[in-house]
Chains A and B, each alone.
With several copies, the nearest count.
Chain A
Amino acid sequence: MERGAAPSRVTGMPYEVHTPVFDGPFDMLLHLILREQVDLYEINLSEIVDAYLAELDRMDRLDLEVATEFLLIAATLVELKARRLLPDDNEVDLDDELGLWEERDLLLARLVECKTFKDAALVLRKLSAHAARSYPRRVGPVEDRFIGLAPDLLERTTPEDLRAAYITATAPKPVIRVDISHITPIKVTVAEAVEELVDELPRVGRLTFRELTSELVDRIEVVVRFLAVLELFKQGVVELDQPGNFGEIAIVWIGDESVRAEAITIDTYEG
């Protein structure tokens, strides 16, 4: 569902409960540097490099120019980071050094450009939100005396248009959302569910999934709990046992007491 969203597990900073969805590596880099005020030294580069590789993967056909560029950015980042980590040594080639500075400036310029358009996009969002509140009249002539006048109204309509129109006409109409979040706050993040489980499971020791979710009303909450359990399983702190298909799932805590929720790495679950 969520193509191209970079993994948002980010090290070098406290993980966030409301994990932002990144639209590509630049986005992630901008976010890390600007909002977290960290420098490259603190950033887990593999995330960003992974994100670049994921972008390369996404390309329908490998576009050499773009691909090279993406690789170049990733390489520059690695190089910058390596330079930050290694003790200064005098044998650095001056040309290499200058080249790196150049690459860095280029990268800086591009981040600035990217940021510029990000902010410009906010204006587009505002404009379209405003425009959406003014509905155009698209009724056309309604009087009988004009209806017959116009040349063939189907001239520019294809069978495909008709199919699309049918689909639109029969698509379920979404209901107006009633925001009741202020009445019943529902915990929907996997991170929070993990936190609860890590808090509760060591005390209880063993629990069935049914017991775990018996008080939950919302299906989404059940799903979130389930993801949290899977997460704990992946981390090796619980064991799962299911006697058969659709059987009761038993969750057994096998981690030691020192396990803390924050140490459980959460992959992002979208949607």
Chain B
Amino acid sequence: MTADHIPPAVEAILLVAEDPLPPELLAQLVGASTDEVVEVCETLAREYEVDGRGFILAKVAGGYRYQTATEQAPYVERYVLDGQSSRLSAAALETLAVVAYKQPVSRNQIASIRGVNVDGVMRTLQQRGYVDEVARDPGPGQAVLYGTTPSFLERMGLDSVSDLPPLGEFFPGSDVVEALERGLRVVPDDEVIAEAGSDAEADSDAEADTSAEAETDAEVDGS
């Protein structure tokens, strides 16, 4: 049974907190067990939701904090001038995805997965506090290994990295793998060539086709 004094004490502390507060710290401050605090926070979060409050109690980066309800974003944005953090580019997001799923991971490993040099992106991500050095590779070279930070979790609205959907979900379907396989075929099979031929014909009324073909020809000639 939870003591009555705990919920309002938790509410008051969370109101003045600037970062997500881990339940362990809250428990210590209000003199309760971590389990009790977790229960209290969950009950409070539910109450706010049922009451249709404009704020929510969110669990982010391993702690609880007050946030505005997403539906109120239009109103909040009228007031907040600079609450938004700047957009993450596709390159940054892909790099973050690799770090998040593969951590701890070295820069070289990331580069080789992405097929592109990642020094610049990693520097920016580190400056923004989304990734950080977490360890050293024990092997030769002692490469720096990177992982994601609590700021990353906050940015993604996640409680922990394990809340990310499993990577397996993103494994490309057989159609994609097949297309790639076909794209990298070593031996030209007649079928592929025949197909390509008819495609080109079918497309020829589509705009801007001719030049492309001309260039392909030139290129074939040249090689």
> Which residues of A come within 8 Å of B, CB atoms?
1-5, 11-15, 18, 20-21, 23-27, 29-30, 32-34, 37-42, 44-46, 55-56, 58-60, 63, 65-66, 69-70, 73, 80-85, 88, 100-101, 104, 107-108, 110-177, 179-181, 184, 186, 188, 218, 260-265, 270-271
Contact = CB atoms under 8 A, between A and B. Distances in A.
A105 to B, nearest CB: 9
A110 B115 contact: yes
Given A127-B158, A148-B127, A162-B156, A176 B186 contact: no
A71 to B, nearest CB: 13
A262 B186 contact: no
Contacts of A167: 167, 170, 205-206
Contact of B108 (A41, A66, A218): A66
Contacts, number: 441
Contact of B111 (A14, A66, A168): A66
A150 B81 contact: yes
B119 interface: yes
Interface string B84-105: 1111111111111110110000
Interface of B is mostly: helix
Given A130-B70, A150-B83, A163-B97, A137 B165 contact: no
A181 B188 contact: yes
B212 A171 contact: no
Interface stretch (B14-22, B24-32, B36-44, B45-53): B14-22
A165 B167 contact: no
**Range for the number of chain B residues in contact with chain A:** 35 or more
Contacts of B138: none
7 contacts: A2-B198, A137-B55, A137-B67, A159-B158, A166-B100, A168-B82, A176-B215
B208 interface: yes
B136 interface: no
Nearest to A125: B93
Interface in B164-187: 164-165, 167, 170-172, 174, 176-187
A41 B195 contact: no
Nearest to B14: A137
Nearest to A65: B108
B116 interface: yes
A41 B196 contact: yes
Given A84-B188, A108-B180, A126-B220, 9 more contacts: A4-B117, A4-B198, A18-B194, A113-B113, A137-B66, A140-B16, A157-B87, A166-B94, A166-B98
B142 interface: no
Given A11-B215, A157-B156, A162-B97, A173 B81 contact: yes
A121 to B, nearest CB: 4
Given A4-B120, A154-B155, A165 B67 contact: no
Contacts of B146: none
Contact of B218 (A129, A152, A155): A129
Given A3-B120, A162-B156, A188 B187 contact: yes
B113 A39 contact: no
A104 B182 CA distance: 11
Given A131-B155, A162-B96, A169-B113, A123 B186 contact: no
Contact of B90 (A59, A111, A121): A121
A223 to B, nearest CB: 12
A236 B116 CA distance: 35
Contact of A24 (B77, B114, B210): B114
Contacts of B70: 130, 133-134
B186 A83 contact: yes
B86 A120 contact: no
Contacts of B81: 149-151, 173
Contact of A138 (B18, B56, B198): B18
Contact of B83 (A1, A114, A124, A151): A151
Contacts of B65: 136-137, 142
Contacts of B192: 39, 41
B183 A38 contact: yes
B167 A125 contact: no
A4 B116 contact: yes
A159 B69 CA distance: 35
Contacts of B208: 14-15, 171, 174, 261-262
